[in-house]
Amino acid sequence: MPNDGRQSMIPSDVRVSNALKIVGAIRASDGMAHSDVARKLGLSVPAVHRLMSQLVETGLVSEDAPEPETTSIGRPAAIYRFHEGAGFLAGVDIGNGTTRVILTELNFVERASLSFRTSEFGAKLPSMLAEAILRMQQQQGAGEVPLIGVGIGISASVDPGTGALHNLTALEEYEGMRLSHELEDVLGCPVAVQQDDHYSALAEGSELGSYPGAGSLLVLEIGYGIGVGMCLNGTPLAGFHGRFGRIADWPRCVANDYIHGATLGEALTTSGLVQQYLQRGGHFPVQDGLGLVEVAQGGESEAVSVLEWAAQEIAQTILRLSLLCDPEVVVFGGGLSQAFDFFAATFEDLLPEIPVVQSLLKDRAVVTGAVLEASSFVDPWLRSRLLRS
């Protein structure tokens, strides 16, 4: 018979396809009997029973023995659940000041975490990061639970074609490094690397975030640095060169005699605000944004004045972004979001048509989005696992 160019569906393909459907159905539930799975997917009960047995043998699915029922006739059905502990996901946030790493099960339940100063990497970024992730994996799974995927958010633009890092805010010595390629061979699993703000947007629009289900969500993060991320229907917007949201070089708008910097990166990040506080004659040894917020909460006029100026500058920045992107909602995150109560009235006054909400994830937005990105590797892993079984 001549080949018409179409691929045939061989029996193993059918088996794997149906097994993946079963896994998807039981992962979306609290547990199902095989008859319920068959009815939901339109498969025969014997086929589901056979595939479910194979899934149990692979360790991907667990079978809960039914409790005896004295009021019904026949044997009660067993309940099947996906084994969320069959693999691990890792999320990493390489921030300007702090790097955070978390290890989760496939349902995002956290198993371990650690953090350290980003400056500790020095010239050993790939090796130190790989060592930290593998050590967490060994401690939690004794080497028996595989690492399925890793997501890494970093304060840099990431070339979509090559994966090369560019315009790093910290760790400038890694300009041009293809970090994902450096790590994949060592970790033995796929690694995704993106600008940190892109992962924040992914997280904030998810079920774990501040505004679940938003069709168009924009995140503005201000801390040691400043950046923007945006998600459209759950997909981060990266831009052609992966540079979407790099706004540190935007000029500031609101006049201020105490600031010499002309850009948002110089004036509106926490270092710029602390400098302004000192220029105004602040009396406390403030070193970061959190310290500034605490002093302002205590009522010191110099700190309050700094945050009042910041509120106006942030509002103008959001207005410019909204004119460009027209988001459904703006989530304000990063370390400076802890001052949201100081900013809320200004936002309502200057941005009456733009909903602005405080991040619920705070400093965990990037690492949460990184784990969500890592979860995109689960289905390919399941498919390869089922093909081998």
Q: H or E element: which one contains 63?
A: strand 61-64
Task: Give the pLDDT of residue 12.
Answer: 64
* 139 bridge partner residues: none
Residue 99, pLDDT > 80, answer yes
DSSP run (H or E) holding 26: helix 11-27
What is the pTM (predicted TM-score) of this model?
0.90
Q: CA 193, CA 129: separation in Å to the nearest integer?
A: 13
pLDDT band for position 11 (50/70/90)? low
Question: Residue 40's CB: how many other CB atoms inside 10 A?
Answer: 16
Q: Is the pLDDT of residue 1 over 50?
A: no
Phi and psi torsions of 301, nearest 5°: -65, -40
Neighbours of 109 (CB within 10 A): 9
pLDDT of residue 192: 98
Q: How sure is the predictor about 328, in pLDDT bands with cuts at 50, 70 and 90?
A: very high
Domains present along the chain, CATH in parentheses: 11-82 (1.10.10.10), 86-202+368-388 (3.30.420.40), 213-360 (3.30.420.40)
Given a cut of 60, whether residue 3 has pLDDT beyond it is no
Question: What are the CA-CA distances from residue 28 to residues 31, 107, 207, 210 (Å)?
Answer: 8, 10, 14, 22
43-61 pLDDT tens trace: 999 999 999 999 998 889 9
How many of the other CB atoms lie within 10 Å of CB of 233? Answer: 10
Bigger pLDDT: 89 or 261?
89
pLDDT of res. 70: 47
Mean pLDDT of 129-141: 93
- Would you state the pLDDT for residue 102? 98
* Contacts with 299 (C-beta within 8 Å, 6 or more apart), sequence order: none
- Check pLDDT > 90 for residue 127: yes
Condensed to tens digits (0 to 9), the pLDDT of residues 222-281 reads 999 999 999 999 999 999 999 999 999 999 999 998 888 899 999 999 999 999 999 999
The 10s digit of each residue's pLDDT in 367-387 is 999 999 999 999 999 999 888
